[in-house]
Structure formats: structure tokens, C-alpha cells
């Protein structure tokens, strides 16, 4: 094939990724051995990854990855890795995920850290502990990839205004974080690994001090692996509802950490913690969660929904700690796009569900593994609208768009608006497609709220929606067409839309 894109190099780097990934199959393999479960799923996966990866590295890649090759690498990685990642589900053949379409959905949901599931029965009766651990691990591995993607690769490729991450507060430039992508990756991953171990440690410690009876080592590891990547998978059928209030507060804390720009932690470790306090995105992020959380807590505590139809949720209305905890947990889980649930918010009043639905569009911070639109984009959209109003009154005025002492240039602003508009339009079209297709499946027929939530939950990499796709339900009932379409949404949403669209333009491939 004659093209301007050196796809050999992209495939070669993908090969290296697969080779490294093959080693990670050892964790579920060891788990299988420990519990006396079938090791074949992981042996097959490890061998295929190693073999395919090694074959690809033989393509003689160039040592330097160009601009176009970067886009191809990113798109291919989040396509090939989830495809290979279906093998444990397919070989194990347990439950609904034994079906190829379901396996692909679940694998894509894992590596994109979305957390939407097609597992109809999440229990150790149906699924082995080792396969469920692989499911958790896909999110942790996906999170590693996304961090590098967000902090080092996309800003370099100037996608969707991703460059603002590197402009955020003076001197906080990613190119200057470390001079090379490899070093940046290593720095981010150190923080990521450290927080993961800390989360596992804290979760397990709560059991040791008697505050979480059922937080076994397995559960601590499983949830530690899906908190930091804002993943949201849980081997418990009722998600974090299965655990005590103490565990739920701990999970809230680590979700907040997971949705924060990791570069800020890096600077804090480098002795510049002021970046964290002064960062406008971090402040807006906390403010957004505080506002949504307070609104929901008030609605749950008083039992007064926006619709003025009193819907007393059993055990919440009138119980202050419980109302606050449930409101804050769900708010943080949604805004950080983690997607855990500490109770079935399908039992809540519809108006509170609408609040959650809007919160799904916020997204966590840039420079984290969180998905959706992200706080810094909304912040700059708001600033741009304010400036537009100002310059409409004062046409002669020149007012730069500032954020934390830095100035966002016109190209960045335009990129951000393009991204947000594409995101909204893709969401709206997807809502309709999902809605309409649901009528092909007897007994599924979604209502508009459910279709809306299914679209944003997958495109925004949030995980659960409301109603049929609520936190204690799953996406298995959808048609194969819808499931493949939502798999596509998770993929394109995760790669910030534009980096996928770029590959689809003729200008990209032209010599």
C-alpha cells in the first residue's frame, strides 16, 4: 500500500505494547492457580499477545514516531488491544460474556475505563475469580495508557484543545514535565502505581480494623485496580453498595484523586504543591462536585425532587449522613466518570436522575484518566462566552482568555469549541440511534431518558446510566448492532473524537 503514513512504525510500536501487555496476564494466571481455577484463558491470551506483538515488532519500525503515525498508533492500540483482550472471556466461556459481541463490549469497556458491563450475573457462581480479576485489570492497564495519551501524546498532536493541559499554570508544561515521552510516562505511572497501592492498602486496612468485614484481599485489589483509572468495574454485583460506609468514604476520596490532573501530583512531589491549590481546573472540579453533591443531598434529605413530587427514598429522606454520603458518592462517581454506585439510583426520583445525567457531561480533569468533556474545557467555554459578551459591547477591546496566569490562544479555543460541539452532536445522534434500535428488541423499548443515559454513559466513558442501563443493571439486553455501536462510542469518546476522525480524512492518508 502506497501512502504517506509510515504504518510499519505504528504497527511496530503497537507490537511492543502487546509484548509488554503479555506479561500482565501473569496476575490473573497466578490468581487462577491460587484458587484452583482454569489457567487456559490467560495462557492463551499471554501467548497470543506475545506472538502477535513479536511479529509486529519485526516490521522494522523507524526509531522516531511521526505526527501521523502517532494518530494511527493511538487508534490501533485501542482497537487491537481490546480485541486481543476478549480472549480470556471467550476461552473461559462463562456467562453472557462468552458471546463474541459481549466479549468485545466488555473488553472495550475495560480498556477505555468506561465500566459499562454486559455481565448479566456478576457473581463467583457464574464467573471465576481469575476472569473477574482480568476484567478489573483491563481497566487498570487502560488507565495507564490513557494517562500517557492525555498528558504526553494528544497535547503533542494538538487534539481538541488538549494542549491546554500543558499550558495550565506557568511553567506547568508537559513538554517540560520531562523532556521525553518515556520519562513523562514513567513519572505518571509512578504516581499511578503509588496511588493504586495506597488505595488497595487503605481498603484492606479498613477490614483489618473491623470497619469492612467483606473487604478481602481479593476485593481490595479488585477495587484498587479500578478506582485510579476511573474505571468503575466491580466484581460485586451491587458495586460499592456491598461495602460499609467507611469503605464508601474511602472510595470517594480515591475517586477524587483519580479525577485530578496527575501532573499536579508530580509538581507536588517536586516540592511545588502550590500548583494544586492555584490550579483553576482543580478548583472548578471541586466546585462542580460540591455544587452537584449539595443539590442532590438536599433533594434526597428533604425528599423534595425538582418536580415537586415528594418521592421519599426509603432510608434516605430524613437521614443526614446517609443522604450526604449517597449524594456525594454518586456525584463523585459520575463527575469523575468512575461509574461506581453505592446504591441503586434507579430508586431515586426522576428529577435527581436528570441531575446525574447532566453531571455526566462535566467530566473530570484533563491529565487524568477521566472521560467526558472535562472541566477545563467547560471553564474555557465559559470564559470565551464572557469575553464574547464583553467584546460585543466593546468591539475595540482585546481581552485574552486567561486560565491560571496563562493565555489560551485562538487555535486552542477553537479546538475546544469544535470538540464540545462534536461531542454534543455525536451524543444527540447516538441517543436517537440507541433509542430507535431498542425497539427491535422485544421487551427492551427504552424511554428517552434511558437512551440519553446509554449514549452519554458510553461516549463519555462514564459506565452506568439510568433505568434499563442503571448501575445494578447491564447492557446485555441490547441488540448486537447497538452493542457494537456503543463499543464504537466508547472507543471514539476515549480517543477524544478528533483523533479518530483525523484518521478517516483523505488528507491524512494522501502522499
Map residue 135 onto helix, strand or coil.
helix
> Segment near its own copies (CB under 8 A), from 97-105, 111-119, 253-261, 385-393?
385-393
- What are 282's three cell numbers? 482543580
Q: Which of 230, 159, 225 is nearest to 198 (CA)?
A: 225
CB of 140 to K ion, least distance (A): 12
For position 463 contacting K ion by CB under 5 A, the verdict is: yes
- List phi, psi (to 5°) of 304: -100, 110
Question: Exposure string (b/e) for 296-331, b if CB count within 10 Å is 16 or more?
Answer: bbebbbebbbeeeeebebeebbeeeebbbbbbbbbb
DSSP string of 35-97, one letter each residue: HT---HHHHHHHHHHHHHHHHHHTT---SS--HHHHHHHHHHHHHHHHHHTTHHHHHHT-GGG
How many other CB atoms sit within 10 Å of the CB of residue 336? 32
- As a whole number of angstroms, the distance between CA 288 and CA 334 comes to 11
For position 110 contacting K ion by CB under 5 A, the verdict is: no
Binding residues for K ion, how many (CB under 5 A)? 5
| Degrees to nearest 5, angle at CA 151 with 293 and 261 | 25
Toward its own copies, which CB reaches closer, 164 or 250?
164
Toward K ion, which CB reaches closer, 305 or 339?
339
CB of 457 to K ion, least distance (A): 9
For position 115 contacting K ion by CB under 5 A, the verdict is: yes
For position 484 contacting its own copies by CB under 8 A, the verdict is: no
Toward K ion, which CB reaches closer, 184 or 337?
337
- With CB under 8 A as the contact rule, the residue among 55, 98, 197, 309 that binds its own copies is 309
Q: Which of 258, 255, 251 is nearest to 211 (CA)?
A: 251
For position 143 contacting K ion by CB under 5 A, the verdict is: no
DSSP H helix total and E strand total for the chain: 24, 2
> Segment near its own copies (CB under 8 A), from 33-41, 81-89, 91-99, 304-312?
304-312
> Segment near its own copies (CB under 8 A), from 29-37, 138-146, 157-165, 242-250?
157-165
* Partner interacting with residue 339 (select from K ion, its own copies, none; CB below 5-8 Å by kind): K ion
Q: Which of 400, 379, 422, 378 is nearest to 159 (CA)?
A: 422
Residue 500 · residue 72 · CB < 8 Å: no
Toward its own copies, which CB reaches closer, 194 or 385?
385
Toward its own copies, which CB reaches closer, 35 or 358?
358
Residues 214-243 that bind K ion (CB under 5 A): 232
Beta-strand runs (E) in 292-410: 401-403, 406-408
Contact string (CB under 8 A) for its own copies, positions 65-94, x = contact? --xx--x-----------------------
The residues binding K ion (CB under 5 A) are 115, 232, 337, 339, 463
- The residues of the shown chain that bind its own copies, judged by CB under 8 A, are 67-68, 71, 157-159, 305-309, 351, 354, 358, 381, 384-386, 388-390, 392-395, 410, 413-415, 417-418, 420-422, 424, 428, 432, 435-437, 439-440, 447-449, 452, 498-499, 501-502, 505, 507-508
Amino acid at each position: 500500500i502506497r501512502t504517506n503514513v509510515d504504518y510499519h512504525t505504528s504497527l511496530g510500536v503497537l507490537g511492543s505494547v502487546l509484548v509488554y501487555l503479555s506479561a500482565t496476564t501473569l496476575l490473573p494466571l497466578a490468581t487462577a492457580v491460587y484458587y484452583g481455577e482454569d489457567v487456559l484463558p490467560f495462557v492463551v491470551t499471554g501467548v497470543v499477545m506475545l506472538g502477535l506483538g513479536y511479529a509486529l515488532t519485526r516490521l522494522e519500525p523507524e526509531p522516531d514516531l511521526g505526527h501521523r503515525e502517532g494518530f494511527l498508533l493511538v487508534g490501533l492500540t485501542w482497537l487491537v488491544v481490546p480485541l486481543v483482550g476478549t480472549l480470556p472471556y471467550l476461552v473461559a466461556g462463562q456467562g453472557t460474556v462468552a458471546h463474541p459481541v459481549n466479549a468485545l463490549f466488555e473488553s472495550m469497556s475495560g480498556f477505555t475505563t468506561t465500566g459499562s458491563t454486559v455481565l448479566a450475573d456478576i457473581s463467583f457462581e457464574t464467573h471465576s475469580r481469575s476472569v473477574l480479576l482480568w476484567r478489573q485489570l483491563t481497566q487498570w492497564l487502560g488507565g495507564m495508557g490513557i494517562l500517557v495519551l492525555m498528558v504526553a501524546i494528544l497535547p503533542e498532536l494538538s487534539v481538541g484543545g488538549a494542549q491546554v493541559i500543558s499550558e495550565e499554570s506557568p511553567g506547568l508544561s508537559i513538554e517540560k514535565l520531562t523532556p521525553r515521552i518515556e520519562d513523562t510516562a514513567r513519572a505518571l505511572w509512578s504516581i499511578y502505581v503509588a496511588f493504586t497501592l495506597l488505595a488497595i492498602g487503605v481498603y484492606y486496612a479498613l477490614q483489618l480494623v473491623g470497619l469492612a468485614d467483606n473487604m478481602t484481599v481479593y476485593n481490595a485489589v479488585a477495587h484498587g485496580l479500578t478506582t485510579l483509572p476511573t474505571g468503575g468495574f466491580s466484581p460485586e454485583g451491587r458495586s460499592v453498595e456491598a461495602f460499609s460506609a467507611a469503605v464508601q468514604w474511602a472510595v470517594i476520596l480515591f475517586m477524587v484523586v483519580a479525577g485530578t490532573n496527575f501532573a499536579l501530583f508530580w509538581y507536588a512531589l517536586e516540592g511545588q504543591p502550590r500548583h494544586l491549590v492555584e490550579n483553576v481546573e482543580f478548583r472548578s472540579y471541586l466546585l462542580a462536585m460540591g455544587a452537584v453533591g449539595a443539590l442532590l443531598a438536599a433533594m434526597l434529605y428533604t425528599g423534595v425532587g425538582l418536580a415537586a413530587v415528594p418521592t421519599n427514598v426509603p432510608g434516605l429522606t430524613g437521614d443526614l449522613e446517609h443522604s450526604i454520603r449517597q449524594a456525594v458518592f454518586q456525584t463523585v462517581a459520575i463527575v469523575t466518570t468512575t461509574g461506581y454506585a453505592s446504591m441503586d439510583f434507579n430508586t431515586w426520583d426522576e428529577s435527581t436522575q436528570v441531575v446525574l445525567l447532566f453531571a455526566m457531561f462535566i467530566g473530570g480533569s484533563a491529565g487524568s484518566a477521566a472521560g467526558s468533556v472535562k472541566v477545563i474545557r467547560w471553564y474555557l467555554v465559559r470564559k470565551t462566552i464572557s469575553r464574547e459578551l464583553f467584546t460585543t459591547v466593546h468591539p475595540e477591546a482585546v481581552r485574552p482568555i486567561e486560565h491560571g496566569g496563562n493565555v489560551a490562544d485562538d487555535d486552542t479555543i477553537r479546538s475546544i469549541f469544535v470538540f464540545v460541539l462534536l461531542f454534543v452532536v455525536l451524543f444527540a445522534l447516538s441517543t436517537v440511534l440507541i433509542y430507535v434500535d431498542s425497539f427491535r428488541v422485544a421487551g427492551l423499548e427504552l424511554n428517552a431518558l434511558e437512551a440519553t443515559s446509554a449514549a452519554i454513559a458510553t461516549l463519555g466513558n462514564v459506565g452506568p446510566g439510568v433505568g434499563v442501563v442503571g448501575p445494578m443493571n447491564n447492557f446485555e439486553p441490547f441488540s448486537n448492532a447497538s452493542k457494537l455501536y456503543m463499543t464504537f462510542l466508547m472507543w471514539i469518546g476515549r480517543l477524544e473524537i478528533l483523533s479518530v476522525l483525523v484518521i478517516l480524512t483523505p488528507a491524512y492518508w494522501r502522499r
